[in-house]
Amino acid sequence: MTSSNSPIRPTYILANETTVRLPRDTSLLAQAERIAQGYQQCQAAEAAQWFKQGLSHLRQGQYTPALALLQQALHSYRNLGDTVRQAKVLLTLANLYYRVADYLWAADYGRQCLRVARELGDEALVQQTLGHLGNSYRHLGNLQRALEYMGQSLAMAKKIGDRPGEMRSLNNLAMVYRAKGLTRQAATLYEASLMLATLLGDRDTHLQILQNLGNTYLTLREYPQAIDCYERFMSISDNGAGAIDNRTTRRILTQLTLASIALGDHNRAIVHLQHHLSIACALGDTRGAASLIDDIKRCYRALGEARVAPMHPDLTSV
């Protein structure tokens, strides 16, 4: 009978037994590597497809499906360790949230993108992301952080010789200064940005800056400069490719009228009021047309004219 206190002896397996023999066929290892590589390629292809579809939805303004697809793509690229494509998806997500005015999430994804871009040493992406963060923090009301990010964006654009990036940074930096109440400094930055837009032939940015600069000069009560900006806006928008929406045109004409009247130039005001009236009539805006006719009459009275403003030929059809 075996004593219960007897030590338990280990059972030995001989090294030449079949139970411990390792396979000598290296093809199994190669097969495993091929399977892993194929899986990665499949995952990368899926991520690329999700990213492409997400961008398509984003361009069409379909933000909910775009968000779901972009987040799937981001998750896959993180699993794959593909930091280059991670950064692209992160910036796209930041821009999506910026479009829907969710600036907290826009800033969050922007910070993630900035971290990855700096790790990659991609200075162009760093510059672009800094500008995005500056705009996001401006909308959040954190003007000091907005100023810091936008200043870094401008410095980086100058460092890498990115003239379009420099133009955008100057324009956006001017917005931050204006929001801080530093209107004179904002005007100086807008002027610098305008020079670059003219040099680069960037029509859309040129128009945006002219509008911003005109509004800034109007705030400063520098009416001749404001009128010059607005009239240049109207000239470029009328002669260039791509129509400007009626809302923007009417807003510019209203500002032109205000600046002209403030300067005492009622003849100029009448010209712009009549232009505005023709748009109102074409759109069937009867209330707006009636108000504009009253404004024209007041301008004629201010000129000391005995006659009232002539009836617009299209008014009867309004």
Helical (H) or strand (E) element with 316: none
- Reply yes or no on whether the pLDDT at 306 is more than 70: no
**For residues 36-49, average pLDDT:** 77
- Reply yes or no on whether the pLDDT at 162 is more than 70: yes
The mean predicted confidence, pLDDT, of the chain is: 87
pLDDT tens sequence across 193-206: 999 999 999 999 99
Residue 65's pLDDT is what? Answer: 95
CA dihedral defined by 232, 218, 141, 156, rounded to 10 degrees? 40
* H and E: helices and strands count for the chain: 13, 0
Specify the range with the lowest mean pLDDT, choosing from 32-36, 144-148, 221-225, 234-238: 32-36
**For residues 122-146, average pLDDT:** 97
Is residue 242, in this structure, part of any structural domain at all?
Answer: yes
What is the pTM (predicted TM-score) of this model?
Answer: 0.78
CA-based torsion, 299, 304, 305, 308: positive or negative: positive
Most confident of 23-27, 235-239, 255-259: 255-259
Is residue 122, in this structure, part of any structural domain at all?
Answer: no
Closest by CA to 249, choosing from 274, 220, 275, 224, is 275
- Reply yes or no on whether the pLDDT at 10 is more than 80: no
Closest by CA to 184, choosing from 193, 174, 192, is 174
Residue 20's pLDDT is what? Answer: 54
Residue 16's pLDDT is what? Answer: 52
CA dihedral defined by 18, 24, 26, 29, rounded to 10 degrees? 30
Q: pLDDT class for 56, splitting at 50, 70, 90? A: very high
- Reply yes or no on whether the pLDDT at 37 is more than 90: no
Residue 4's pLDDT is what? Answer: 52
- Reply yes or no on whether the pLDDT at 165 is more than 70: yes
- Reply yes or no on whether the pLDDT at 286 is more than 90: yes
pLDDT tens sequence across 211-239: 999 999 999 999 999 999 999 999 988 87
Q: Look up residue 180 and give its two tokens.
A: 């801080």
Q: pLDDT class for 26, splitting at 50, 70, 90? A: low
**For residues 111-136, average pLDDT:** 97
- Reply yes or no on whether the pLDDT at 145 is more than 80: yes
**For residues 265-279, average pLDDT:** 94
Is residue 115, in this structure, part of any structural domain at all?
Answer: no
Q: How far apart are CA 14 and CA 176, in angstroms?
A: 79
Is residue 124, in this structure, part of any structural domain at all?
Answer: no
Is residue 191, in this structure, part of any structural domain at all?
Answer: no
Closest by CA to 232, choosing from 251, 209, 216, is 209
Closest by CA to 221, choosing from 262, 181, 188, is 262
Structural domain boundaries, residue 277: 230-318
Q: pLDDT class for 55, splitting at 50, 70, 90? A: very high
CA distances from 57 to 67, 85, 91, 120, 230 (A): 9, 18, 16, 28, 35
| Structural domains in the chain (count) | 1
Q: Could you tell me which residue, 39 or 274, shows the higher pLDDT?
A: 274
Specify the range with the lowest mean pLDDT, choosing from 96-100, 224-228, 304-308: 304-308
Residue 33's pLDDT is what? Answer: 61
**For residues 43-53, average pLDDT:** 90
Q: Look up residue 248 and give its two tokens.
A: 């923007």
**For residues 110-118, average pLDDT:** 97
Is residue 148, in this structure, part of any structural domain at all?
Answer: no
**210-225 burial: b if 16+ Cβ within 10 Å, else e:** bbbbbbbbbeeeebeb
Residue 39's pLDDT is what? Answer: 59
CB atoms within 10 A of CB 13: 9
Q: Could you tell me which residue, 68 or 31, shows the higher pLDDT?
A: 68
- Reply yes or no on whether the pLDDT at 30 is more than 90: no
The radius of gyration of the chain's CA atoms, rounded to the nearest angstrom, is 32
